A and B are shown apart, each in its own frame.
Chain A
Amino acid sequence: GQNIDQPTEMTATEGAIVQINCTYQTSGFNGLFWYQQHAGEAPTFLSYNVLDGLEEKGRFSSFLSRSKGYSYLLLKELQMKDSASYLCAAMDSNYQLIWGAGTKLIIKP
């Protein structure tokens, strides 16, 4: 079956770096998305990876290893406003998104 695994919750300190991991199993693969979702709001797009390697976008970077079925989202210089849930979603061969349950990131001063 198709499956996405990511930690339920993580805690980090303001100004620090945190890495949120995601492993996936899908029927075919057309890329891996990361979304940010603040409580009570809809998700917003952060990144898309389809090739192996690291994509950097400001304070956020996303990494993909297709052979390992693994991705991570790296957040640097954490700010309080980064407190949110981070959703990992893999796109299968039918272009359907398979969503993870999200990782709730708590930032402490």
Chain B
Amino acid sequence: GAVVSQHPSRVICKSGTSVKIECRSLDFQATTMFWYRQFPKKSLMLMATSNEGSKATYEQGVEKDKFLINHASLTLSTLTVTSAHPEDSSFYICSAGTGGDRISPLHFGNGTRLTVT
């Protein structure tokens, strides 16, 4: 089956620093990748949709200058949390779809637990 690898799984950083999270599709080409944020006991909140070779589409209320998304190839998308603050602490999850079938199930990475101190 399709595998999505997300790295790192956990990261602790100091306030004011930047953190990069990578999302890779290992055995398929992902034309579209999605970045989610999840708070404890809450559902997934879509942050942005990234398409290979074009700018990401951010959901309302998500600061694009703070959450930088780059989808430079069909197998890699990165999310950079710039100038992180404690309120950015959360569980970040990426998912990927082939794009060829818009109704295909999403394949999720294992998530990144970010803690900003």
- Chain A positions within 8 Å of B, measured between CB atoms, are 30-31, 33, 40-45, 48, 50, 87, 91, 95-97, 99-102, 104
Contact = CB atoms under 8 A, between A and B. Distances in A.
A40 B41 CA distance: 11
Given A41-B111, A95-B103, A100 B43 contact: yes
For chain B, the bracket of interface size reads 20 to 34
B105 A45 contact: yes
Contacts of B93: 42-43
Interface string B88-117: 000101010000001101111111010000
A31 B106 contact: no
B110 A42 contact: yes
A53 B113 CA distance: 38
A41 to B, nearest CB: 6
